[in-house]
Amino acid sequence: GNSVTQMEGPVTLSEEAFLTINCTYTATGYPSLFWYVQYPGEGLQLLLKATKADDKGSNKGFEATYRKETTSFHLEKGSVQVSDSAVYFCALSGSGGYNKLIFGAGTRLAVHP
C-alpha cells in the first residue's frame, strides 16, 4: 500500500542554517505530494504541494521537488528562522487529490537564535 517515510527528528539548527528534511514515498499510480506544517497547539497548514513528476512546490522560502525516479519529495530551505520551529509532515494522496492523505510520522524542527 501507499506509505510515506520521513527522517526522524528532532532537527536542531541555528538561525540562518540550511534545512533539509528527507521524505520518500511508496505509491501506486501518480500521487500528489504535500508538505504540511504544524505549529504548537494548532492544526496542520499546507506549506507546499506538487501534483506531478518534476514539479517544484515552493512557499515562504521552502521548496520541494517531486522526484519520481527516486520517489522522493525532500523539503529544503536556504536560511531558517526561529519562527520556522514546528513539526513538518510529508504526505501523499491518490490520483485526483481528494482521496485520503497518508502522512509521514512528522519531523520536529527547532531553530535557535
Partner 1 sequence: DAGVIQSPRHEVTEMGQEVTLRCKPISGHDYLFWYRQTMMRGLELLIYFNNNVPIDDSGMPEDRFSAKMPNASFSTLKIQPSEPRDSAVYFCASLDGGGSYEQYFGPGTRLTVT
Cell of 75: 523539503
CB of 106 to partner 1, least distance (A): 6
Q: Identify which of residues 60 and 112 has a Cβ nearer to partner 1 in the complex.
A: 60
Considering the rule CB under 8 A, would residue 100 count as an interface residue with partner 1? yes
CB of 89 to partner 1, least distance (A): 7
CB of 98 to partner 1, least distance (A): 6
Considering the rule CB under 8 A, would residue 69 count as an interface residue with partner 1? no
Please give the biggest Cα pair distance in the chain: 43
Among 2, 51, 65, 72, contact with partner 1 (rule: CB under 8 A):
51
Stretch that binds partner 1, among 17-25, 64-72, 77-85, 90-98 (CB under 8 A): 90-98
Q: Identify which of residues 8 and 16 has a Cβ nearer to partner 1 in the complex.
A: 8
**E strands, the chain, in order:** 3-6, 11-14, 19-21, 23-26, 32-38, 44-50, 56-59, 62-65, 75-77, 86-93, 102-103, 107-112
67: left (phi over 0), alpha (psi -120 to 50) or beta: beta
CA distances from 48 to 84, 88, 108 (A): 14, 11, 17
Name the site residues for partner 1 (rule: CB under 8 A).
Answer: 32, 34, 36, 41-46, 49, 51, 89, 93, 97-106
